[in-house]
Amino acid sequence: MPSNLSLPLSTIYAFLLVLARISGAVVFVPIPGASASPAAARVVLSLALTISLVPVWPSIPTLPDPGLLAGWMMSEAAFGIAVGLLTAFLSESFVLFGQMVGLQAGYSFASVVDPNTQADSGVFIVLAQTFSGILFFVFGLHRQVLRILALSLETQHPGSLLTARSVEAIVRLGSTVFTTGLKLAFPVVALLVMVDIALALLGRINSQIQLLTLAFPAKMLVGLAMVSAMAVLIPRVYEEYASRLFAVMPALVGR
């Protein structure tokens, strides 16, 4: 005897709302190579994460009209974008660090194809962004993002808007991108300034030395050596900054 498979309309609405929230987060979460991957892969990832969260899908007792459903989906997407932006601050702070170091050390004269954006970028920028992506998975932050999204589905009702306090906290944390990048780049930049001063004094003492041919190799080697020496401290700074960002996320879900 043939049987028909049917889904309640409330289940379909719940699927759409969760998909909107997950998709908003997937767009901004700094997954290495995600922006360069085909759009179909990102769609499949969003669908897979949405289906994996079936046990915590919201229940919709009364079916909304199409206009209200569209408003709910926009609010769900805004929440996902907020979570994705907070996570993306980690990658952006490292991009700023790579920009500062690469410019001062002379690596900005050489460019490579950024695997994320498929555009020409400085060597140090691509290196810093790749290192940030590795640390993102090493510290298990992808699991933290999924945990926050699952927790939000249990505490945030469909159509819930971000509070003004949450928006203010996100905007305030946006300024920490610069301070964190500066904290990482300051030792290298300070050392390179000292190298510039030493070369200037050397050129003042003996004007016949061709410092132009020595300045670039010296600054590149010193900058690379300093970054290598800081390799032990960079993960610690990354972990502290990640803890600061993820400490704000429970407030987004009402915890």
* pLDDT higher at 122 or 119: 122
**Structure token digits, residue 71:** 């408003």
Per-residue pLDDT tens digits for 131-184: 888 888 888 888 888 888 888 887 777 767 777 777 787 888 888 888 888 888
pLDDT classification of 115: cutoffs 50, 70, 90? low
pLDDT at 7 exceeding the cut of 70: no
Q: What is the pLDDT of residue 83?
A: 85
* Bridge partners, residue 111, by sequence: 122
pLDDT at 194 exceeding the cut of 80: yes
Distance separating alpha carbons of residues 143 and 137, to the nearest angstrom: 9
Mean pLDDT score, 194-220: 77
Q: What is the mean pLDDT of the chain?
A: 80
pTM: 0.79
pLDDT at 31 exceeding the cut of 80: no
Distances 231 to 14, 33, 114 between C-alpha atoms, Å: 45, 23, 22
* pLDDT higher at 32 or 127: 127
pLDDT classification of 1: cutoffs 50, 70, 90? very low
pLDDT at 129 exceeding the cut of 60: yes
Mean pLDDT score, 5-31: 80
Q: What is the pLDDT of residue 5?
A: 54
pLDDT classification of 17: cutoffs 50, 70, 90? confident
Sorted by where each begins, the domain ranges of the chain are 9-252
If one counts every other C-beta atom within 10 angstroms of the C-beta of residue 225, the result is: 12
pLDDT at 3 exceeding the cut of 60: no
Mean pLDDT score, 78-82: 85
Distance separating alpha carbons of residues 129 and 117, to the nearest angstrom: 11
* pLDDT higher at 202 or 180: 180
DSSP string, the chain: --------HHHHHHHHHHHHHHHHHHHHS--TTTTTS-HHHHHHHHHHHHHHTGGGPPP-SSPPPHHHHHHHHHHHHHHHHHHHHHHHHHHHHHHHHHHHHHHHHTGGGSEEE-TTT-SEEEHHHHHHHHHHHHHHHHTTHHHHHHHHHHHHHHHSPTTPPPPHHHHHHHHHHHTHHHHHHHHHHHHHHHHHHHHHHHHHHHHHH-TTS-THHHHHHHHHHHHHHHHHHGGGTHHHHHHHHHHHHHTTHHHHTT-
* pLDDT higher at 141 or 249: 141
- Above pLDDT 70, what percent of the chain? 84
